[in-house]
Chains A and B, each alone.
Chain A
Amino acid sequence: MKGTIKRSLIFVVITTILCGLIYTFVMTGICQVLFHDEANGSIIEVNGVKYGSEFMAQQYEDEDHMCGRVMNLNMTTFKDKDGNTLLYSGPSNVTPASNDFEKTIEERVEKIKANHKEMGNTPIPPDLITNSGSGLDPEISPKAAEYQVKRLSKNNNMSESQVKTIIDKCTKGRFLGIFGEKRVNVLKVNLMLDGILK
C-alpha cells in the first residue's frame, strides 16, 4: 500500500518531466526550425511594420476596405505595457432560433445593403451577417467577396477586374478539392487594396 502510493507520486514526477518538459521543449525546437513563421503567429510584416497575423481578423468598416465576418470585439481582456487597450474578439454564443436573433439578422442585412447600394436586391451571403466560431475568423467565402467587388472598385478607383485579381490572389481552395471550404483572406485583400502588400 505504502509502496504503491509512493510509486504513484514518483510516477507523477516522471510523467511531468517526460510529457511536460521534454515533449513540449523538443516540439518547440523542431517547429521553430522547420516552420519558423508559422510557429510564431504567421505575422504579416512589411518594411518593419507588423500589420497583423494572417490568421486573425480585424474589423474593417472603411468604405474602401473589404469587410469580413461580424465580430464581437473584446476590449477589456488585454492591455499593453503602457495600459493601452488591445483588440481581441470572441464568439456571440447566441441561439440562432430566437426572435432576437431574427431582428439582429435584419439589422445586419440593412447595414450591408446600405453600404452596397449598387448590389440592389442581390441576396447577401450568410457569412457576411453572422458571427464566426472564434470571433476572429480571418476569411469570408468567395461569394461574400464577390458581393463587395463593385463597391471596392468604385471606392479604390480600380477596375472590377483589378479587384477580382486581388481577391483571386488571396483565395485558397479546399484541401484536396474536397475538405473544408473555399475562402478569401480579408486582411490580405485589404493590404493589397491599400498597396501595402503586393
Chain B
Amino acid sequence: MPDDDLRLLKEARHGDESSFLILYRRYRMPLFRFAWRLTGSTAAAEDVLQECFLALIEGARFDADRGSLRAYLFGIARNLALKRIRLAERESEELEDTEADLNPLENLLSAERSEVVARAVVALPPFQREVIVLFEYEELSLEEIAEVAGTEVGAVKARLHRARETLRRRLAPLIAARA
C-alpha cells in the first residue's frame, strides 16, 4: 500500500482537490473492475465507484491501524455493490437459471471465451464471487479479503475453495482446451 494514502486522504478531506485526484486515480480502476465483476453492469459499477469515493471523503470512518486504505475502499465498494445486487434481484423476480444456461460446449461454439468465464463467475453466489474476484483479479491477500468481507481468513479460504471448484467444473472444456 502506498505510504502516503493517509496523508492524501486527510488533505482531500480538507478540500485539497489535487490530493483527492491522486487517490482517485490510484484506486479508480481496481474499484471499478471489482464493482463491475460483482454487478455485471458498467453503469452500476460507475455508480459504485462514485459513491465509494464520496463516502470516503464525506467522513466514512477509516482507521489506519486496522488495515489499509485499499482494503477499506474495497469494503465500501463491496457493500455498495451487494446492495445493488440485492436490489436487482428483488426487482427481477425471474432469475436466470444460470446453471442450465451454462452449457460450456454450447458457449464455446457461440460466445467468446471471456463471455463464458464472465457468466461462470457471475453465476457464483455473491460471497464466493467477491472472494474469487478480489483474489484472482485484484490480487488481494487472504487477510485483506477477510477485512473487506468482514469475516475470518478461514471463511475466506473456504469460500475461495468452493468458488474455484465450481468454476473448475463449469469451465472444464475451456480448461481442457488450454491444457
Partners in one complex: no
